[in-house]
Structure 1
Amino acid sequence: MRLWSLHPSLLDRQGLTACWREGLLAQAVLAGRTRGYTQHPQLVRFRRQPDPLAAVAAYLHAVADEAAARGYRFDTTRVDVPGGERTRTAPQVPVTDGQLALEWRHLLGKLAVRSPERYAVVEQSGGPVPHPLFVVVPGGVEEWERAT
């Protein structure tokens, strides 16, 4: 499971689709609808929020917004918190600049192999931009990160 801290606009088609599926899985875990992945480290930052389901819903809605901008149709009825509620209930979740940098390098590596045309665009974009849910704070790689 990879719940990118990076803005969904940086992802290629495969990454955006995977992000949506994995976000829905995270939502199911946080809502107690599945027994798998309950200890997954990517869920730590959502569990730290006063309303974890509102946080993951805001995450998913931003992914769906990017998909819609590209002409894809992700079924937002699968998100537990409706889109109209997200601006009222969504927190600003901190993410460290070190975490963004790590994910940026990880994404560029994936894109170079999987989507060279997307790599060229993203690599020239000027660096990592956070997902709208996240606010960047100084710091190293997050303690829950398992990537090397």
Structure 2
Amino acid sequence: MRLWSLHPQYLDSAGLNASWREGLLAKNVLLGNTKGYANHPQLIRFKNSPDPNLYIDAFLTEIYKEAVRRNFSYNKEKIRVIENIPSIPVTKGQLEYEYEHLRRKLQKRSPEFLVKLPVLTELKPHPLFETIEGEVEDWEIIT
């Protein structure tokens, strides 16, 4: 499961689709509808939020909005559209780690998308997150 801290605009089609599916899986985990993945590290920041179910829907809302921007057809009925809630902090180190992780994935599966990816001096987080100083998050599994 990868719930990207990066803005969804950086994801290729496969990455955006996977983020949608994995976000929906995370939603079911947080709702207690499945026993698998219950202790997955990517869920920690949602579990630590004031309302995990609200925050995962806010995460999915932004994935949905990016899909609409690209003319993809995602089922909006699977989420509550949530906007304008307090952000969750994410460290600059986490964003940098994820960006390099994404670049490695794109080299293999979508080199044409990688070429279009801008060289970034300041990474844009997923709109649910607010960048703070710091290293890679403690919950991240470094590969």
Kept in 2: contact 1:67–1:74 (CA 8 A): yes
Q: CA deviation at 1:120?
A: 0.8
Residues 1:61 and 2:61 are matched in the alignment: yes
Q: Which amino acid aligns with 2:15?
A: G
Q: Which amino acid aligns with 2:126?
A: H
Unaligned runs of 5+ in 2: none
Q: CA deviation at 1:128?
A: 2.4
Kept in 2: contact 1:104–1:127 (CA 8 A): no
- Whole-Å Cα distance in 2 between the matches of residues 124 and 98 of structure 1? 16
- Whole-Å Cα distance in 2 between the matches of residues 147 and 64 of structure 1? 28
- Whole-Å Cα distance in 2 between the matches of residues 145 and 124 of structure 1? 24
How many pairs are equivalent?
A: 143
Q: CA deviation at 1:147?
A: 2.2
Q: CA deviation at 1:122?
A: 1.0
Q: Which amino acid aligns with 2:96?
A: A
| Runs of 4+ with >4 A deviation | none
Match of 1:131 in 2: 126
Residues 1:95 and 2:126 are matched in the alignment: no
Q: Which amino acid aligns with 1:113?
A: K
1:31-64 deviations in Å (ceiling 9; x for gaps): 1110110000000000011101111001001001
In the superposition, the TM-score normalised over structure 1's length comes to: 0.92
- Whole-Å Cα distance in 2 between the matches of residues 106 and 20 of structure 1? 18
In the superposition, the TM-score normalised over structure 2's length comes to: 0.95
Q: Which amino acid aligns with 2:111?
A: P
Unaligned runs of 5+ in 1: none
Kept in 2: contact 1:5–1:100 (CA 8 A): yes
1:71-109 deviations in Å (ceiling 9; x for gaps): 101111111xx22xx125x33000000000000000011
Overall identity of the aligned pairs, in %: 47
- Whole-Å Cα distance in 2 between the matches of residues 100 and 117 of structure 1? 22
RMSD: 1.2
2:141 to 133, 138, 146: 146
Q: CA deviation at 1:19?
A: 0.2
- Whole-Å Cα distance in 2 between the matches of residues 128 and 87 of structure 1? 21
Q: CA deviation at 1:123?
A: 3.8
Kept in 2: contact 1:2–1:42 (CA 8 A): yes
Match of 2:48 in 1: 48
